[in-house]
Amino acid sequence: MQLTSISKLTLIIFIVFSLGLVVLNTKPLTVKSICSINNKTAGLEPYIRVVGIITDVYVRKNFVLLKINDGCSIDAVMFNCNASCITKVKQGKTKVVDVVGKLKLDKKPILIISRLNLLS
Amino acid sequence: MLIVVSMLLGIVMGCITGITPGLHINLVALIVVAFFTQGISLNLAAFIVAMSITHTFVDFLPSIFLGMPDEDTALSVLPGHRMMQKGFGYAAFKLSLIGSLLGLVIAVLLLPVYSFAVPKLYGFVKQYMFYILLACLFVVLAKEKNKLECLAVFLMAGFLGIITLNLKHIRQPLLPLLTGLFGCSMLVFSLLTKAKPKKQVLKSISISKKEKIKAMIAGIVAASLVSFLPGLGSSHAAVIGSSFFKLSDAGFIMLLGSINTIVMLLSFLALMLIGKPRTGSAAMLERIININPSTIIMLYIIALITGFIAFIIAAKLGRTIAKNIHKINYTKINVAVLLFVVLLCIVVSGIYSLIVLVAATSLGVFTTTRGIRKMYLMGCLLLPVMIYYWPF
């Protein structure tokens, strides 16, 4: 194969796969993919979307504790959740949640989520 | 006595991590520190320092003979491999060892200078790091005939680096990125052009005293600049260092060898002078011992002794590999190494890392076919760092 052909071919491959990476960057993380990353919430930026099933809900005075599950389990907390928000949480089976940050409680990372959107 | 044993164990482990692509000293240090408790912290520190310094001597072996670099030896692949193809692989490796040893000795001798100058200059250099990197890029570009093409490669690599480092779907993004750009691309190119190494000459090649001095000055200055600043490492120092003087392949490999070892050594000093760890090994040391002038002197003595022992062991290892590499079918080695890299990326970084690997490899091959220096592929790390230090 001539060098000119190789250089053209490799340039095309580079462009195609780079675009693939750009598309991948916009793909929402799933709970499973987060679990497979060494530090579960390392590098998570705000507004990364996390898809998973909420399996447990613990209602407290000023916040709600959740377990989000999709093959593995991640803890999450939501502050300032009013009565209608709690109803949504209890009703929902599959949720898309927006992560706004993370904190550590007893050395475990916990996602901070701001709102829940029920998937129909 | 236990310190001596720890140091020797560290040297052995450093040889293993240096030879094995994908096995990083940070991982080993983390495991060792996690397993051992307080009470033997000084011995652990001796182990970590010895392992780290030895690693910097030995890690040019897979880079030169297999085309499989790590982050710190990435730029050595092309000149090292080129020399190996001509039968001078052992000579290339010996030059990197000489660079490492000389760099180690000079850095130890300059300890009082660093101790005085770094606290005073740290803030100033950090403030102007963007301009320093930009200036180095322009100086390097000015020497090229095809400036626009080189700049385009730099920007494409930078774009790839920015996307990859921001990707949340893969672990250890540097593995597929740097292996693809510098390692796999070399192997793929060798396969496509049916390159075969000649029988290796087991002799060192001499380079002029002037070339040695240029390589060492460039190495010391560049490594000193990056060792104390966040986000910068050996590969950035190599780009900065090569902008000072025009060096032959041999001089460049010597430069890389010295930078690698000096950066590692100075990262321990950075703990004391600015209170920040700049390498994984330094981060481990910070956890296990109290860093003060007397511990630094002890660590430096260990590093110096390790350097001399590692030089001898590494030279023997290199000789053995160089003696036998021509007996093995080079095409089969290349294919085997490529398959190993693919497997390593999947296991360490996840399945999506293969997209990064293919993109990086294709860019690396493109760069080689166009005759552009692989240095511009360092844009993958340099551009993100320049954005980090962006002053506006």
- pLDDT-above-90 percentage for chain B: 18
pLDDT at B250: 82
Element housing A109 (H / E): strand A108-118
**What is the residue whose two structure tokens read 């780079």?**
A18
CB atoms within 10 A of CB A8: 13
pLDDT for res B160? 94
Q: What is the mean pLDDT of residues B32-57?
A: 80
Over residues A75-87, the mean pLDDT reads: 75
Is the Cβ of A13 closer than 8 Å to some Cβ of chain B? yes
Give the least confident one: A99-113, B132-146, B225-239.
Answer: A99-113
What is the domain-level CATH number for residue A77? 2.40.50.140
Whether the Cβ atoms of residue A77 and residue A64 lie closer than 8 Å to each other: yes
Min mean pLDDT across A22-36, A44-58, B241-255, B336-350 is at A44-58
Q: How many domains does chain A have?
A: 1
Nearest to B56 by CA among B307, B343, B302: B307
At residue B256, the pLDDT reads 87
pLDDT band, very low/low/confident/very high, at B145 (cuts 50, 70, 90): confident
- Give the chain A residue nearest B372 (alpha carbons): A7
Which among A6, A18, A20 is the nearest to B369, CB-wise? A6
* pLDDT confidence of residue B83: 75
Contact across the interface for A7 and B164, Cβ inside 8 Å: no
Give the largest CA-CA distance in chain B.
Answer: 60
Residue in chain B closest to A49 (alpha carbons) equals B168
Distance CA A47, CA A50 (A): 9
| Length in residues, chain B | 392
Residue A42 resides in a domain: yes
B352 in contact with A at a CB cutoff of 8 Å? Answer: yes
So where are chain B's domains?
A: 2-145+207-333
Condensed to tens digits (0 to 9), the pLDDT of residues B164-201 reads 988 877 877 888 888 888 888 888 887 887 766 666 76
Whose CA is closest to B12, among B57, B64, B50, B59? B50
Q: Name, in order, each residue with C-beta under 8 angstroms of B151's C-beta and a sequence gap of 6 or more.
A: B141, B376
Whether A74 is in a domain gets the answer yes
**Residue with the larger pLDDT of the pair B389 and B47:** B47
User: Could you tell me how many residues make up chain A?
Assistant: 120
Supply the DSSP symbol for B144: -
Residue pair A72/A95 in contact by the 8 Å Cβ criterion: no
CA-to-CA separations, B240 to A11, A21, B237, in angstroms, rounded:
27, 29, 5
- Cβ contacts of B370 on chain A, cutoff 8 Å: 7
CA angle A95, A96, A101 (to 5 degrees): 120
pLDDT value at B363 more than 90: yes
Q: Hey, are the CB atoms on A7 and B366 less than 8 Å from each other? A: yes
CA dihedral B77, B83, B88, B90 (to 10 degrees): -10
Instruction: Report CA-CA distances (Å) from A97 to A28, A51, B381.
Output: 10, 7, 33
Structure tokens at B331: 């095409």
B36 burial type by CB count under 10 A (0-12 exposed, 13-18 middle, 19+ buried): middle
- Per the CB < 8 A criterion, the answer to whether B307 and B100 are in contact is yes
Distances (CA, A) of B24 to A8, B18, B35, B190: 35, 8, 17, 26
Q: Could you list the residue range(s) of the whole structural domain that residue A33 is in?
A: 28-118
- Helix, strand or coil, per DSSP, at residue B166: helix
Identify all chain A residues contacting B164, using CB atoms and an 8 Å cutoff: 21
Q: Which of A1, A21, A43 sits opposite B355 (nearest CB)?
A: A21
pLDDT for the residue numbered B280: 74
- Compute the distance between CA of residue A43 and CA of residue B167 in angstroms, rounded to an integer: 9
Q: Which helix (H) or strand (E) holds B359?
A: helix B353-369
A17 close to B (CB below 8 A): yes
Inter-chain contact B355–A20, Cβ cutoff 8 Å?
yes
- Whether A18 is covered by a domain: the verdict is no
**In angstroms, rounded to a whole number, what is the distance separating the alpha carbons of residues B191 and B362?**
14
In a domain, A39, yes or no: yes
| B282-294 residue pLDDT tens | 877 877 788 888 8
- Backbone phi and psi for residue B280, each to the nearest 5 degrees, phi listed first: -60, -40
pTM of the entire predicted model: 0.71
